[in-house]
């Protein structure tokens, strides 16, 4: 009986956290997971730019960019945001297909400051 109760509590908490998750957290969480790595390790974006990301990492990046594309940034025009995210999606696809110049296209698309000044609230 106790076990059943704690299972129920877990399920209720999961539903609660899902329903209260803000759309903006999608972007923040992605940034923390793939654009900024803990001290001493390379973030996924850096590995991708150096051609050192594994297939699994590229797949994760692609999924992430598609997810933030659908989210709304705290600042800026949604249309321009979608366009920027789609450039990133296209650049990662280029990396997956090992296209010539794909790393350079990705480096250009993943311009931190350029995107933050337009879409990130201070
Ligand atoms: C496509 C646009 C875009 C690009 C490119 C981008 N960012 Fe971001 N980043 C954002 C937005 C928008 C936010 C604000 C999210 C929010 O506050 O909801 C953000 C937030 C962040 C945060 C704060 C996360 C938090 O909430 O604690 C970090 C750290 C970050 N970005 C790192 C980077 C780094 C490093 C790069 C370059 C390698 C980068 N970002 C490239 C759009 C971008």
Taking CB atoms within 8 Å and a gap of at least 24, the contacts of 54-57 are 55/96
- Give the Å distances, CA to CA, from 61 to 23, 66, 86, 98: 18, 9, 12, 15
pLDDT for the residue numbered 19: 46
Q: Which two tokens stand for residue 55?
A: 């297939």
Q: Which two tokens stand for residue 118?
A: 């337009």
Q: pLDDT per position in the chain (122 positions), as tens?
A: 566 656 555 555 555 455 445 555 999 999 999 999 888 999 999 999 999 999 999 999 999 999 999 999 999 999 999 999 999 999 999 999 999 999 999 999 999 999 999 999 98
* Residue of the CA atom closest to atom 21 of ligand 1: 31
Rounded distance from Cα 69 to ligand 1 centre (Å): 13
Rounded distance from Cα 117 to ligand 1 centre (Å): 10
Between CA 96 and CA 103 the distance in angstroms is 10
pLDDT tens digits, residue range 14-38?
554 554 455 559 999 999 999 998 8
What is the residue-averaged pLDDT of the chain? 88
pLDDT for the residue numbered 107: 96
């Amino acid at each position: 009986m106790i076990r059943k109760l704690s299972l129920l509590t877990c399920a209720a908490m999961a539903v609660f956290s899902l329903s209260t998750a803000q759309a903006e957290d999608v972007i923040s969480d992605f940034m923390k997971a793939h654009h900024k790595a803990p001290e001493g390790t390379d973030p996924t974006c850096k590995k991708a730019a150096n051609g050192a990301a594994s297939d699994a990492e590229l797949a994760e990046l692609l999924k992430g960019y598609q997810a933030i594309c659908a989210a709304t940034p705290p600042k800026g025009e949604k249309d321009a945001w979608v366009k920027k995210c789609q450039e990133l999606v296209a650049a990662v696809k280029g990396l997956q297909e090992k296209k010539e110049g794909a790393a350079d296209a990705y480096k250009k698309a993943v311009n931190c400051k350029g995107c933050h000044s337009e879409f990130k609230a201070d």
